[in-house]
Amino acid sequence: MLSTMQDIPLTVTKILRHGMTIHGKSQVTTWTGESEPQRRTFAEVGGRATQLANALRDQLGVDADQRVATLMWNNSEHVEAYLAIPSMGAVLHTLNLRLPPEQLVWIVNHAADRVVIVNGSLIPLLAPLLPHLPTLEHIVVAGQGDRSPLAEAAAQVHEYEELIADRPTTFDWPELDERTAAALCYTSGTTGDPKGVVYSHRSIYLHSMQVNMTEAMGLTDRDTTLVVVPQFHVNAWGLPHATFMTGINMLMPDRFLQPAPLAEMIEKERPTHAAAVPTIWQGLLAEITAKPRDISSMKQVTIGGSACPPALMEAYDRLGVRLCHAWGMTETSPLGTMSHPPAGLTPEEEWPYRISQGRFPVGVEARLIGPAGDLLPWDGTSAGELEVRGPWIAGAYYGGAGGEDFKPEDKFSEDGWLKTGDVGVIAPGGYLTLTDRAKDVIKSGGEWISSVELENALMAHPEVAEAAVVAVPDEKWGERPLATVVLKEGATAGYAELKEFLAESVPKWQLPERWAVIAAVPKTSVGKFDKKVIRRQYADGALDVSEA
């Protein structure tokens, strides 16, 4: 028996239409660094997105599934591109502006981008790449910035505002198959070439619904979310589409991502929610500690991208701001878990749940695979590699060597599950606790040492700003931990003191023998600790390593 329900495709176009009509009064506010931010209603943003679609089709000839790239900060124009490009049947391709130039060139050429929309302030980043981008035919510039570096560009250069001016605010939106491509993001390429993940209209729609669920971010049109996580980082964790779906107001920081302007915009604009990686909140904490600001409007912060140090959670608890741990990756759109504790617990009882990665929502199936390939139980103690599957989780990567989608054996199981590369345990209630990345776990004398656990313990020390722990070769044990620490200004803690502090929370056999003080922990393009840089520095003898 078939159902009697209507079969209506789940598309980004539906989100665009709904947001600009039902939630037309909600706002996208873009910080300008000046006295007054730029403010546009959802109705205005939707209308401008429609004008952009008309311009892309009629003047630039974009049709079918051609790729339109964005090299932009988080701002209103970028939201317009998010809505217009997929809705007209093309593919939004967000470019990570923090990647090395050679990786950006590789990604643009691999995706065969025809058009790029770029913020004027990012022209110095784009211009040197242009001679190496043969597929690029059009450059659309939005916002302030010197255009002169584009004078010799082979591609045609257009002004964003001039391009969309006087265009119709209606568009003959195509009836799209919900399984067609809507957006394209590439992994950061920490090992090998970056890999493309293609999101469908269906996956974005379903992911947006889950983001809005109470077991995820659970925001409403009474809320304002400060979207610090870059729009090139897994579609800003799904927030631009999710907010347009439910009328949540957006506060976009543009290029003002430093702690001082973030503190100022929180104090002045009063967002109730924010989303970013831990390093952002560590920087903001240092800023408001040195120069107190009122951030009391922020009741909830979604924090992900890497493990959040418990000490950071405790510090924000004291400020009345609740950090909510989340886990995900480019391949999972990215929502995989969020750490809302079960109901009816005291704050002390909630703590073990809060410092976990959180619980799997409906739509994300998970399993743990042991070193021998065996399926492990959800008992909270059996550690294995996490594998997941679901309607917003990748089943392949875009465009292998032969032009077809490809499934590397180390990333996808034979029966179609995504191998995350994360090692952890799952409690009976479905709460995930990650102990490490498979590539970062320290294999010492036949036992595993979690680098993340050591890092979190070290960052609880009052004189430690950051800490990263990596495995280094050891003749006796195979591998041992090397602890690299960033001390706070004026700190005097020595290695012996730090090791003694660690001994209070981790087994003695896990304590590092090798230590180094560094100026800053190297970061990837999306703010994660870049441990391969530390391992390389150690191998090259570039670190001043002492033993304790």
Whether 351 is catalytic is no
As a whole number of Å, the end-to-end CA separation of the chain is 71
Q: Which residue(s) pair with 385 in the sheet?
A: 369, 423
Residue 14 among the catalytic residues: no
- Residue 443 designated active-site: yes
Q: Which residues pair with 386 in a beta bridge?
A: 368
280 alpha-carbon distance from chain centroid? 12
Q: Which of 178, 331, 387, 455 is catalytic?
A: 331
**Could you give phi then psi for residue 131, rounded to 5 degrees?**
-60, -15
Determine which one of 25, 268, 443, 488 is catalytic. 443
Residue with token string 């520095």: 537
Annotated active-site residue in 448, 463, 479, 513: 448
Rounded (5°) CA angle 294-298-302: 140
Residue 386 structure tokens: 């996490």
What are the angstrom distances between the C-alpha of 511 and each of 460, 472, 515? 15, 13, 11
DSSP assignments along 15-43, one per residue: HHHHHHHTTTT-EEEE--SSSS-EEEEHH
* Cβ 264 vs Cβ 293: under 8 Å: yes
What is the rounded distance in angstroms from the CA atom of residue 351 to the CA atom of residue 308?
13
The residue annotated as part of the active site, out of 94, 187, 243, 420, is: 187
Rounding to the nearest 10 degrees, give the CA dihedral for residues 188, 194, 200, 203: -40
Q: Is 187 a catalytic residue?
A: yes
Q: Cα–Cα distance between 302 and 328 in angstroms, integer? A: 12
**Helix-then-strand count for the chain, H and E:** 16, 27
Helix (H) or strand (E) holding 70: strand 67-71
Q: Which residue has the tokens 């665009």?
A: 16
Which are the catalytic amino acids? 187, 331, 443, 448
